[in-house]
Each structure stands twice: as C-alpha cells, then as structure tokens.
Amino acid sequence: MNKFYEAWLSAGQKVTDLQAKQQEIALKAVNDPDSVSDEELVQIKDQLAKALKVRDFAKQAYDDYVETSETASIEDKIVKSPATVEQIKAEDITKQFINDFKDVVTSAQEGKGGAGLTIPSDIQYQIRELRRTFVSLENLVNVENVNNPSGTRVYEKSADITPLSKIDQEDGSIQSIDEPELTTIKYLVKRYAGLMTVTNTLLKDTAENILAWLNNWIVKKDVVTRNTEILATLKKGTKTAQLAKFDDIKDLVLATLDPAIAATSSFVTNRTGFSILAKVKDAQGRYLMQPSVTNPEIYQIEGKTVTVIDDKFLPDDTGKHPLYFGDFKEAITLFDRQNMTIDATNIGAGSFETDTVKIRIIDRFDTQLIDPDAFVSAPFTAVTDQVAASTASSPK
C-alpha cells in the first residue's frame, strides 16, 4: 500500500476515535450537565468536523493517485479479487522464504538448537508439481495429508460377502448377516534427511534461480526416498504368482485379483524386467506390450500401464526380475506430514575445513500397507512367447 492509502486509513481512525469521544461527552453531559463546559462541547464538535474534512480530503487524494498514476501497482487498489490477493500473498511468502534461506546460509552456525526453516506450503506445492515430472511411485499410491506425527485409521478388509437370506414364511426368523471385517492401521511419521553443499556464488544469484535449484535438489532426493519406502512396503505383500509364459501374464491380469481391483490396476517393474516383457509376442507375432494410444511414451500390457523403475532402486532378487500388478492406491497409503524444513551450518559436516555451507533438508512421512489383497507380486526370470496352435495334418 502506498503512503496516500495509509494516510486515508489514519485519518479515518482519528474520526472514529473522536466520534467515540463525542458520544462519551454527550452521555456525561446528559447525566450531569455541569460536568461538561460549553468550551468542551464546542471543542469536540470543531475537532470532529475538521477530522471529517481531513479524512475526506485524504480519500480524494488517494483516489486521484490511483486514477492518474500509470505505475499504480495492484496493492494500491482497494478492491482485489480473492485470487489476486492469494497470488500476492504467495509471491510475498516466496520472496520472504528466499531471503530467510539466504540468512540461514550466511549466518549458519552449528548448535543453535533451532528447528530449521520451514518450507512454505506454496513452495511445497511447486515441489509436488515438479515431482510429477519424475518417475514417482507416489502418484500410484494413496496419499493422505496429516497434521499429527502419529495416528490410527480404520479400514474395511477384503471379505467374502454373502447374500441376504431368503425368508419363505411370513413369521420366518431372520438370519444374522456377516459384518464387515475392519482392521486398524497405525502410522508413525518418520524423518528423512540429507545434506547438500552450497557455494557462496549461489547466494549471489536471483531468487528465481535459487528457488529452481532448491526445488530440483529436493525433488530428486524426495522422489528417490519415497520410491524406496513404497517399494519396501510392496515387498510386504502376501499374494504371489508365477510367470513363465505368455498366457501366465493373461492369467495375472484376468484371474488373480478381484475384478473391481483389477479394473484400476497397473504394473510396476524394473528396467531389466521391462526390456524382457517388451519382447514377448503372441501367436500372431504381436508384442505383448503396446504403446498407449493417447501417449506413445507410455507402454501398456492388456491396457494396463507399466511403470518402470531403475534397477538401482528396484533390483533383481535372487536372479528374478520384480513385477507387481494391482491397484496400489488401495494397497498402500503414504501419510504425508507436509512439513519440510531446511537448516544450514558452516562449521559442522566438514564445511569449516572446506569453507562451504552444508544445507540439510528433512522430510516427514510414513508408508503403510493397507490392503495386501489389492496387488500381487509375480517375479520372473524369462517369459516365453505364445505358441501358435498346430495345424491338423491332412489325412493320407
């Protein structure tokens, strides 16, 4: 806001104060006429009249400034849409965060006992959006934002549902029906941290470049960390299947999971497993794996998307390539604390010896297996092509 707007607000506040004082004197005069002199009555009346003129004059000066100034910023306007206000707030928060980040780095000292610099929600949103550009398994699982470091959730387990009983007689007894099986899941948010070395030249860069560097570094670390924890949770699954030939994959898609789960399921494998599955053919020589019609960069098996993770993070196990199939949003929940923090030191972690600054990032989340029946693990070594039906030999 500019100085004209502040002057108008100040003048308006003075009018309000004088009006309150006038009312107080009026009540006092009514109750005890001798307690208030004629001079006091005239004085408060004149003061209020002058204050009103000053307020109106300040308002007109502000209106003239807004109307005539070609460089009037959006903060100078009285009426703002909610979207504009939120945008201004987000920009201010981002700028303040970068300034605070520079302060943390330049004044970094070890042992202050501080909790670090909390990354604002607006920047965390940018991080989440950037995370989508990487191969992130978080997009496949259910994500629940939580405010508490621990808690419990109650879920309905998969169970065989029986039909209602048929009653043949008017006075026939009604059988008790099966009740849903419920299970309690406890989550405990854990901390995941990492260090990064910062050079002094970084602090001389623009706020946009600093934010881009910070977001990129956080996203890379965060995606790998969350992928690792999700994959570790997948290993806790109980349903397994064996793959050796083309038709086994058909059975995996069509016959291993509940139809409602299979309808929203997808595949996860590593790079080596992907390259093997991509070469499997049916009896007509067509590849099992086909590119998506809407996005050729996405491959599918039986219309189910295949997500590929690098072997470094999803390695083979005892010579077998990992393959998971299921609805991972039903299977796993990631409880996200949404409370990333940043801290720095120029003394510890070897930064004193190298004259650098170490940046520490801490993320807080937990992953829990919710429904082990929502996916199946089908590790394999090789998958043979579909064999064409042999043509019947002609009679001799």
The domain that contains 70 carries what CATH number?
Answer: 1.10.287
50 or 29, which is more confident?
50
3-state DSSP call for residue 385? coil
pLDDT in tens, 283-334: 999 999 999 999 998 999 999 999 999 999 999 999 999 999 999 999 999 9
How far from the centroid of its chain's Cα atoms is residue 208's Cα?
21
Q: Would you tell me the crossing angle of helices 3-31 and 38-68 to the nearest 10 degrees?
A: 160
* Strand 332-336, strand 289-291: pairing: unpaired
Let me know whether 112 and 246 are in one domain.
yes
Burial (CB count <10 Å: 0-12, 13-18, 19+), residue 345: buried
Domain CATH number, residue 311: 3.90.1690
Q: Which two tokens stand for residue 67?
A: 């109307």
Residue 164 belongs to some domain of the structure: no
155 or 358, which is more confident?
155
Instruction: Specify whether the CB–CB gap between 304 and 342 falls below 8 A.
Output: no
Let me know whether 59 and 199 are in one domain.
no
Let me know whether 309 and 373 are in one domain.
yes
Q: Which of 153-167, 293-307, 341-355 has the lowest mean pLDDT?
A: 341-355
Q: What are phi and psi of 74, to 5 degrees?
A: -65, -25
Instruction: Specify whether the CB–CB gap between 204 and 341 falls below 8 A.
Output: no
Q: Which two tokens stand for residue 322?
A: 């990992």
Average pLDDT score over residue span 383-387: 93
pLDDT above 80 (res 224): yes
3-state DSSP call for residue 170? coil
User: What does the pLDDT read at residue 110?
Assistant: 43
Q: Which of 46-50, 161-165, 310-314, 367-371 has the lowest mean pLDDT?
A: 161-165
User: What does the pLDDT read at residue 327?
Assistant: 96
Let me know whether 32 and 151 are in one domain.
no
User: What does the pLDDT read at residue 207?
Assistant: 63
Residue 316 belongs to some domain of the structure: yes
Read off the pLDDT band of 162 (50, 70, 90).
Answer: low
Number of domains in the chain: 2
Dihedral of alpha carbons 232, 235, 238, 243, sign: positive
Question: How much of the chain, in percent, has pLDDT values that exceed 90?
Answer: 38
Q: Which two tokens stand for residue 197?
A: 């070395």
The parent domain of residue 30 ranges over 3-76
Asked whether the whole model's pTM tops 0.75, one would answer no
pLDDT above 60 (res 42): yes
Let me know whether 48 and 139 are in one domain.
no
DSSP state of 35: G
